[in-house]
Structure 1
């Protein structure tokens, strides 16, 4: 499957548009994203731990 020249040019134009619209997050926005991501990781870890404990209890 080869890419045509038009599709490559269109893709590059879309990339340029995204880069033009995007901006660097400020300090508070960065910390909010970091907090939400951290909370998500903790929740997934707790759920995995609970499932692991239930599996061990049911196995005995």
Structure 2
């Protein structure tokens, strides 16, 4: 089985300015993406938000 890594880059400053509702909207789209992958027979084996780059 092939495996792929999916990276979803974004603007960290814009993310931090989002309201809780705005962040929930983004997370909802990610859940929808995962649901559609699963429906098509794909297996999503992980997922995590990276720490901000300023903490590197």
Q: For the superposition of Structure 1 and Structure 2, which TM-score range results when normalised by the shorter chain?
A: 0.3 to 0.5
The structure whose residues are more often helix, as a share, is: 1
TM-score under structure 1 length normalisation:
0.41
TM-score (ref. length: structure 2): 0.44
Tell me which structure has the larger Cα radius of gyration: 1
User: Which structure is richer in relative contact order (CA contacts within 8 A, separation 6 or more)?
Assistant: 2
